[in-house]
Amino acid sequence: MGRVFAIVLTLITLVSVAFFVMHTWWLPPDISTTGPAVDHQFEETLIGTGVLFLAGQLLLGWFAWNASDKTKKVRPFPGGATPLVTAAIVLVGIEVFTLTFVGSKAWGAIYLAPADPLALKIDVQAEQFAFYFRYAGPDGKFGSVHPEKIDDGSGNYFGLDPANDEAARDDIVAASLVVPINTPVALTLHSKDVGHSFYVRELRVQQDFVPGLDIPLHFTATQIGKYEIVCTQLCGLGHYNMKAYLEVMSAEDFQQWLKTQAGQ
Amino acid sequence: MHDVSASPASHQHTAPSGFLRKYVFSLDHKVIGKQYYGLALVSVFVGMILSWLLRLHLAYPNWHIPLLGKFSATGAPDGVMTPEYYLSLLTMHGTLMVFFVLTNAPFAAFGNYFLPIQIGAEDMAFPRFNMMSFWTTFLAFVVMMASFFVADGPPISGWTAYAPLSAVGGDAGPGLALGQNLWAISIVLFCVASLLGALNFIATTLDLRTKGMSLARMPYSTWAWFVTSVIALLAFAVLLPACILLILDRVAGTSFFIPAGLILSDKLQPHSGGSPLLWQHLFWFFGHPEVYIAILPSIGIIATILPVFTRKPLLGPRALVGSMIAIGFLSYMVWGHHMFVSGMNPFSANLFSVPTLIITIPATIMTLLLTASVYGGRMRFDTPALFCLGFISVFISGGISGFYLAQPSLDTYLHATYFVVAHFHFVMALASLFGVFAGTYFWFPKMFGRMMNETLGKWHFWLTFLGVYCVFMPMHYLGLVGNVRRYSAFVDDYLAPLIPVHKFITIAALLTGAAQLIFFFNLFWSRFRGSIASVNPWEATSLEWSTTSPPPFDNFGGHHLVVENGPNEFGAEAPDGTDFVMQAAPRKGA
């Protein structure tokens, strides 16, 4: 029975690892300046944990195989517990601290480093079950928001007051996040109702919207294309269908898009 | 058997004769343990049916299930569940499994039954509290199940009930009115019951150990229940007020978790000044230790059972117990790793990441010690032994993915994907359940006086072991692709190509679930038809194997055992020619 266990466990282990190694299912290609560090960290972790996973499962299988030999006497583990405990502390300790020190850089570049002061500023509003994006318009100033003025029926998703607020009059509100390539973009995330999240797989970023807070998030996209923005924080019955698109354009196309939007 | 003669004190505990006192409102820890086990069994059955329905809906969204349509005409018109009903069932699956199964079965059920016996006590320190714990838990279960039958059904906010979705009431969506109230009331009751239970476990362990049962001689399962009760005492003491605040926000107009200016259903909500992040901090301050409340008892159970079947002592028992205590301590410093991308200050992510990664050290020590304990054994491959080996394997698999999620820089991609679902099912749900299975096959003879059927047990093991890998390993791959969890359908171009993987998982889940029916059948069949169990059928050492199967009302028939040995005396030649020394046997050479 121990031998059957060893064989079954070895097969499970090898098949599981094979799909990781073959990248049968994998992350979509990164399109951001901060993503490569995340991907690098991922590969490092994959190698370290892959070795631990293989070693752990295969040793267990091997020991179970050996323990099924009834002709042998009971044998103690060579060296006893102390070397094992020491090895666990030292090896896993090294792994832990390497991952922390290398990984904290990748995290810091996304979440701790301030956005470029010249970054394109875009205001993002999440609500059940849509995202809206607001650009400052030609005057470069965002109009102030008044939650009580929010009215989805008339398209006033942000609660602007163009009648009394000059800065609000030229604000551009869009249903897609349109950005120029290779340009730093600084988002401010806020929610109209409950918690939501901003997740673009290709940017390797995810950030919750927290009602009552303005949360900054910045990125620079390096590939022209259209990518999904999906909600990852359970927000109600339409959660599965809450999405928008990130459209990365050339600088010229972006300017053209802005003009078209401003003219509407 | 070595014992001091019966003392007058032992007769103060007389068995009740009335039906209610004997089987319903019993003060006997053994009956209460069985009651907890029965409640966990009912809960796991409901939770499993729910997971079947959820999986079927994900893989075959248009499949009509007429019975479900009859059960809830609004939730599943024509037998096809609505997106909101998917979330309702998801909430109930998570809540039932985490609270009423993973907390109740390994901790409350086995702990109640065996902790007093393993330390040579006649009962718990506070038998009346003990009865109250169970019946309060039962009431919590009834209130939770009632949410299925109210208008709009159970809440759709998930088992984590994040505010303000859970706090603002019916304006946020279906199930968030009465259903969410029932959920919160049920959890409050559950917390009260768990606090009473934890206090009882602690007092019993510290005060009622029989002569010679020093802390160092306690079996590892008792150690685990003891450490877990300390964790539970501190964890449920935080969830309890958190849920009370949530109820106040919902029914009394307070704003603990709700900020100003929220608009739901086109209405400006009459709240201001609260913080949604406060709920997350309080919830996870409980929620992370809860993972260890689910897993530590199973680790203790495995550490107790494994040497019985390898016929050699557990390797490094002190390091194992030390690791349990270290994990219990560290479990209170890591709750923020559930909140890396929550909007809390990103500096704190690093602060929470380091202790989270450090937890992998005691976890690795425990895994290595259990694995190395198999080495060189003359193993008896009975069903409990197989579940011990299976436990080590799924615990390794679940622990490994923790390395990814503990790092903020990877969590930014993997958070809220199926990678997380794979992780917590392996490390918390499966590992804990494998411990419960091992414990059930191991202790059933003691609890019911009959052996469980071995053939059925082995079928159950193999189908379950293969099955859970087919269900949960592919979820890692889904997570790598970026498949978001808690979606009731995969409607977009990006996720649609993953549907075949979901179909594979669904079929595997149905089969693995069906394999559990073998277990249910075995339980009931063996209860009445199993072969009669001897006092010590597995040749184990701890005190429960020194008394009849099942034990008498006062556990040891008026005898007061004196413990002279540790729980780990296997492999050496005992004076009577066997390869083990019972804890209550006279010391060698004495």
B79 DSSP β-pair partners: none
| DSSP helix/strand/coil, A25 | coil
| DSSP helix/strand/coil, A91 | helix
A178 DSSP β-pair partners: A247
- Burial class of B325 by CB neighbour count within 10 A (0 to 12, 13 to 18, 19+): middle
The dihedral sign for the CA sequence B24, B30, B32, B33: negative
Within 10 Å of residue A209's Cβ, how many Cβ atoms? 28
Pairing of strands A130-135, A215-220: unpaired
Cis status of the peptide bond prior to B164, with omega within 30 of 0: yes
Cα–Cα distance, B109 to B112 (Å, whole number) = 5
B148 touches A at CB < 8 Å: no
A205 DSSP β-pair partners: A200
* pLDDT given for residue B574 in this prediction: 64
**Positions in chain A short of pLDDT 70:** 264
Residues 71 through 100 of chain A touching chain B, CB cutoff 8 Å: 72-77, 80-82, 84-85, 87-89, 92-93, 95-96, 99-100
φ, ψ (nearest 5 deg) of residue A190: -145, 160
Residues 438 through 477 of chain B touching chain A, CB cutoff 8 Å: 458, 462, 465-466, 469, 473, 476-477
Q: State the pTM of this model.
A: 0.96
- Domains for chain B: give ranges and CATH numbers: 25-258 (1.20.210.10), 531-590 (no CATH)
Backbone torsion region of residue B539, taken as left when φ is above 0, otherwise alpha when ψ lies between -120 and 50, otherwise beta? left
CA A8 to chain centre: 35
Query: Mutate which of B394, B471, B484, B499 to test chain A, going by most A C-beta atoms within 10 A?
Result: B484
| DSSP helix/strand/coil, A185 | strand
Pairing of strands A177-180, A243-249: parallel
Range B71-94 burial, b when 16+ CB lie within 10 A, else e: ebeebbeebbbbbbbbbbbbbbbb
φ, ψ (nearest 5 deg) of residue A209: -90, 130
Radius of gyration of chain B (CA): 24
Please say whether the beta carbons of B547 and B535 come within 8 A: yes
DSSP category for residue A27: P
Q: Give every CB contact of residue A87 below 8 A, 6+ residues apart in sequence.
A: B368
| Closest listed residue to residue A182, CA positions, set A135, A247, A251 | A251
B170 touches A at CB < 8 Å: no
* pLDDT given for residue A264 in this prediction: 66
What tokens appear for B364 in the block? Answer: 């690795």
* pLDDT given for residue B588 in this prediction: 63
Distance (Å) from the C-alpha of residue A218 to the closest C-alpha of chain B? Answer: 13
DSSP state letters, B517-551: HHHHHHHHHHHHHSPBP-SSTT---SGGGGS-SSP
* pLDDT given for residue B575 in this prediction: 67
Cα–Cα distance, A43 to A35 (Å, whole number) = 12
Cα–Cα distance, A236 to B174 (Å, whole number) = 8
**Positions in chain B short of pLDDT 70:** 1-13, 573-575, 588-590
Cα–Cα distance, A134 to B18 (Å, whole number) = 73
In chain A, residues with a C-beta closer than 8 Å to the C-beta of B319 are 81, 85
Q: Which ranges of chain A would DSSP assign to H, the alpha helix?
A: 2-21, 35-67, 81-87, 93-111, 166-169, 251-263
Helix B178-207 vs helix B127-146: crossing angle, to nearest 10: 160
- Give long-range contacts, CB 8 A cutoff, 24+ apart: B497-506: B498/A25, B499/B59, B501/A25, B501/B474, B501/B477, B502/B55, B502/B58, B502/B59, B502/B478, B503/B59, B503/B60, B504/B470, B504/B474, B505/B55, B505/B59, B505/B470, B505/B471, B505/B474, B505/B475, B506/B55, B506/B56, B506/B58, B506/B59, B506/B60
What tokens appear for B159 in the block? Answer: 């088992």
- Burial class of A180 by CB neighbour count within 10 A (0 to 12, 13 to 18, 19+): buried
Distance (Å) from the C-alpha of residue B12 to the closest C-alpha of chain A? Answer: 45
CA atoms within 13 A on the CB side of B273: 5
Please say whether the beta carbons of A107 and B350 come within 8 A: yes
Q: Where are the domains of chain A?
A: 2-111, 120-263
Please say whether the beta carbons of B425 and B472 come within 8 A: yes
Please say whether the beta carbons of A83 and A25 come within 8 A: no
A134 DSSP β-pair partners: A123, A173
* pLDDT given for residue A95 in this prediction: 87
* pLDDT given for residue B269 in this prediction: 94
DSSP category for residue B336: G
Residues 404 through 443 of chain B touching chain A, CB cutoff 8 Å: 404, 407-410, 412-413, 415-417
CATH classification number, A120-263, choose in 1.20.140.10, 2.60.40.420, 2.40.110.10, 3.30.70.2860:
2.60.40.420
* pLDDT given for residue B18 in this prediction: 87
Cα–Cα distance, B229 to A234 (Å, whole number) = 32
A193 touches B at CB < 8 Å: yes
Distance (Å) from the C-alpha of residue A224 to the closest C-alpha of chain B? Answer: 17
* pLDDT given for residue B13 in this prediction: 58
Residues 27 through 66 of chain A touching chain B, CB cutoff 8 Å: 27-28, 37-38, 41-42, 45, 48-49, 52-53, 56-57, 59-60, 63-64, 66
Cα–Cα distance, B193 to B210 (Å, whole number) = 27
Query: Mutate which of A71, A77, A101, A197 to test chain B, going by most B C-beta atoms within 10 A?
Result: A77
The dihedral sign for the CA sequence A136, A138, A143, A147: negative
* pLDDT given for residue B540 in this prediction: 96
Cis status of the peptide bond prior to B127, with omega within 30 of 0: no
